[in-house]
Structure 1
Amino acid sequence: MMSKDILLIINSIYNEKGVSRNCIFKTVEEALSSATIKRFEGQNVNIIVKMNRINGNYDTFRRWKVVKDENYTKSSIEIPYTAAKKINKKFEINKYIEYKIENINFCRIAVKIAKQIIVQKVREAEHTEIIRNYSNKIGEIICGNIKKIIKEGIIIELDDKTECFLPRNEMIPGERFNINERIRTLLFKVNPNSRNLKLILSRCCSKFLSELFKIEIPEILDELIEIKSVARDPGYKAKIAVKTNDCNIDPVGSCIGMRGSRIQSIYNELHNERIDIILWDENYTKFVINAMYPVDIISLIVDENNHNMEIIVNEYNYYKAIGKCGQNIKLASELTGWILNVVTKNEAKKKNKKEIINKVKFLSLKLDIDKKIAVLLVDYGFTSLEEIVYVPIEEFLKIKELNINVIKKLKSRAKDELLNLAIKEETGIYGEI
């Protein structure tokens, strides 16, 4: 292969792919080494090619590694230390002896084959470069032009000519694009195992919305306003919780902007997806109330152990609280991190009445007491055996209908019942309470 042929190949690849010249030269050297090895037909040889970066001239060398005499395995890529010393006393163990050999001759067809090999290796180097450059940009918004629209999604060309893929399931429902149209997307992940398109994009994930807010609202970029959580049903509705790190700034008003100027550009980007901007609060009950705004909440029943809340609303607010197909309550749950359940005032009353009846029956049975005494205990908040055992006597004295002797008997019976339950549990006879 003539030097000018090599330089032509390198220049064409450099102009076409934009890969660094040094990377292409290394790839060409590897390709020439691979081609030269084939000349030795089945022999195990170590060949390297050294190329002049200016004029394209190159030399081919065969190499042998210098090893200790006792480690020599008669391999054709090794030479024992004693033999190496006879050639040159300067040779050391684990160094290489290089012997210049004749460069391989290429015909025109071979030149074409070599170019294919080089292009393939450059493509691999190019993919490696893409992965290295974009791995630290995951979660960032990137812009590009639509190059091709296929059944599975859209191929987008970035400003540096890198091609990315936006799958159909990562597009906002109902949106349509045209060839060469400019588009903003989020770099969702880098897939090194993909054959061609390594960069996978998204416009559906919650991170895309929060990144749009960072672009459109300077206070978020300056860390005066902080995005705490995002919940999204792409194309339909989203909720975003914000807080301020400066007491002089209204976080919700700053995100909306004068006459909605800031939020409008985000609406346009998301094809009028409705966005509720929620004021975050460290008090989780207040945060849930804010997340359900503008629904009027009568009360909340909090179960911290199971991390859920029951939201009680009037009948006329029920469907508004749930939202279309349960969308509103689903987004509020995702935003707050709590399992939320909406019930009407009447439903809550019925449920509460049923729970009270069950608690009265439970205490009457376990403590062997009259129903009236059990009702008194439940009314004052004593609903479990543990509460009756461990709550101080002073608290029970608030119940005027009970004297101290009755209270002591109740505590004694509750203690005995807990002990019996513990014994049954250990012996495997534990049943439902």
Structure 2
Amino acid sequence: MPSNLNYIIDQVGKDKGIGRKVIIDALEQAVLTASRKTYGHQGEIEVHYNEEAGEVELFQFKQVVEEVMDPSTEISLEEARDLDAEAQIGDSLGVKLATDFGRIGAQTAKQVIIQKVREAERENVYNEFKDRKGDIVSGTVQRMEKGNLYVNVGRTEAVLLLKEQIPGEVYRQGDRLRAYILDIQKNSKGVQIFLSRTHPGFLSKLFENEVPEISEGVIKIISAAREPGERAKIAVYSSNRDVDPVGACVGMRGSRVQNVVQELRGERIDIIPWSQDQAKYICNALAPAKISRVYIDEEYRHMEVVVADDQLSLAIGKKGQNVRLASKLTGWKIDIKSESKMEKISGEIFEMFKQLPYIGDVTSRILYNEGFRSLKEIAEVDPEDLARILKIEKEKAVEIIQRAAEGFQEEGPESKKQEVLPPSDSAMGSVDRIDGVGEKTAEILKTNGFQTIQDLLKADIERLSSLPGIGLKKAEKLLQSAQRLIEEGKK
């Protein structure tokens, strides 16, 4: 062993960022383990690091006896007094042992030290990053394996999985990047740090770094939603009426938002003012489309949004992107319908409601505006609530509910659907009959559950436009063609 280990301990501690005590404990454990290889497991052996001498001392404790029966655990009084003049029978005396363990013992000690130092390094790394989950970290790309990037983030290496990379991004060894700390895991292999550039939290943190008002707490990011590399929405709120949250995030001449856009490789970002009024919030989230009116179902967090016919494609967005992001941002299920389609649906529902006693044009519209869309919903309402809504006597409300329940049972499960389509031979025809539907399109439609023309007309345009190879314009044409077939079948 070196005559003075103090310098080595200090140097290793500095290089590895490990405390002095941790290294000394590792040395003592290593020497103790190696001593077992040399001296066996008999007897009580202790290790102590002598700070002044700068060396590890090894002692074997033996019982002082008159007659030695077991040399590994006992020592004679004569030998004991050579070591300690005051030794007495029955004392436990520490006998210093040599720490020259030979090649095997030295190798064992080395392995123990390496293991302990690695464990200490892992613990330090974990302690450094465990509270940084959700932060942004900068690093350098070290290597690439199967599309995954391994990034040097200082004292350790983090991984940016392929699925957490923005589509279209290309990195090379040595490139610098910033990413969001998604997760930190500690296991037998050490500490694993997972990064992300696609997480909505990355967008929020970038704005937090760019906009001082956010870090100061004046502006709060309520929610964020992304389709990485393409488009994102972020909802912001200001606790100070004098501070415009959207303007602050945009910055002078768009400087702040542009910095974020550049980091996200051109991702288009919509900054939305948050509102406590959920209807207004969702209308803001669907911008730039202009909303005509909304119908809210708070119990199921479902909102029916009506837009002018010329605003439908804008509200839905390319391949349903705008409404999809708005739904993620707000946490509401959003169903978008055009004025013309809504007029058709509402007309059919009005006629259905007017079959009930005491329900006319005005009261059917009141029910519709209150969110009722089927006889089942009326059948399940409390009589007192219905009487209050329609401003009628409770007895009449009970009669309406009873008739609605009877009508619902007569109509069966199909009455649950909001859109009531007239049954006809044309409606039950195959989607192959629709103009513009070839073999490939027919296969796509049928695979996704659209077997008949009636199935297609019941479809929400958002879902239809999101099918492979369909798109919004083709979806609109298909629905128009299907409707024409139905109308021709009625003649």
TM-score, normalising length from structure 1?
Answer: 0.76
Q: Aligned residue for 1:381?
A: 367
Q: Could you tell me whether the CA contact under 8 Å between 2:30 and 2:108 is conserved in 1?
A: no
Shift of 1:157: 1.8
CA distance in 2, matches of 1:186, 1:340: 29
Is 1:150 the counterpart of 2:145? The answer is: yes
Q: Which residue of 2 aligns with 1:169?
A: 163
Q: CA deviation at 1:339?
A: 0.8
Please name the residue that 2:26 is paired with. 27
Call closer, same or farther: CA 1:131–1:390 in 2, change over 3 Å: closer
Counterpart of 1:427 in structure 2 is none
RMSD, aligned α-carbons: 3.5
The correspondence of residues 46-61 of structure 1 with structure 2, limited to 5 A, is 47-53=45-51, 55-61=53-59
- Once the 2 structures are TM-superposed, how far is the Cα of residue 375 of structure 1 from its aligned partner? 3.1
Shift of residue 186 of structure 1? 1.7
Aligned in 2, Cα 1:191/1:332: closer, same or farther, shift over 3 Å?
same
**TM-aligned CA deviation for residue 316 of structure 1:** 2.5
One-letter amino acid matched to 1:21: R
Query: How many Å apart are 1:409 and its aligned residue?
Result: 6.3
Shift in alpha-carbon separation, 1:413–1:243, aligned structure 2, 3 A: closer
Deviations 1:226-249 (A, max 9, x none): 111111111111111111111111
- How far the C-alpha of 1:22 sits from its partner, in A, is 2.7
Instruction: State how far apart, in whole Å, the 1-side matches of 2:386 and 2:313 are.
Output: 41
The 5-angstrom pairing of residues 268-279 of structure 1 reads: 268-279=262-273
Moved over 6 A (4+): 415-420
The Cα shift of 1:278 comes to 0.5
* 8 Å Cα contact 2:28/2:49 also seen in 1: yes
1:46-93 Cα shifts (integer Å, max 9, x gaps): 6442113464312224579xxxxxxxxxxx99xxxxxxxx957xxxxx
Equivalent position of 1:261 in the other structure: 255
Distance in 1 (CA, whole Å) between partners of 2:2 and 2:293 is 85
Local SS of the residue matching 1:191: strand
Shift of 1:38: 3.4
**Alignment-mate amino acid for residue 28 of structure 1:** L
CA distance in 1, matches of 2:307, 2:313: 10
| Structure 2 partner of 1:410 | 396
Q: Deviations over 1:250-277 (max 9, x none)?
A: 1111111111111111111111111111
2:305 counterpart of 1:311: yes
- Is 1:340 the counterpart of 2:338? The answer is no
Residue in 2 that maps onto 1:126: 121
Question: How many angstroms does 1:99 deviate by?
Answer: 3.6
* C-alpha contact (below 8 Å) 2:141/2:176 kept by paired residues: yes
Bigger mean CA deviation after superposition, 410-419 or 271-280: 410-419
Judged with a 3 Å threshold, the aligned counterparts in structure 2 of structure 1 residues 38 and 408 are, in CA distance, closer, same or farther, namely closer
Aligned residue runs from structure 1 range 208-287, under 5 A: 208-287=202-281
Gaps of 5+ in 1: 65-75, 78-85, 89-96, 364-368, 398-406, 421-431
Give yes or no for contact 1:297–1:312 (8 Å, CA) kept in 2.
yes
Which of 192, 195, 200 lines up with 2:194 in the alignment?
200
Q: Is the 8 A contact 2:6 2:51 kept in 1?
A: no
Cα distance in 1, alignment partners of residues 282 and 367 from structure 2 = 25
Alignment pair present for 1:297 and 2:283 = no
Is the deviation greater in 136-145 or in 149-158?
A: 149-158
Deviation at residue 387 of structure 1 after TM alignment = 6.1
**Counterparts of 1:396 and 1:381, CA distance in 2:** 12
Residues 137 and 375 of structure 1, relative CA distance in 2, 3 Å threshold? same
Contact residue 308 and residue 340 of structure 1 kept, 8 A = yes
Deviations 1:387-429 (A, max 9, x none): 65555599657xxxxxxxxx68635645877999xxxxxxxxx
Q: CA deviation at 1:144?
A: 2.0
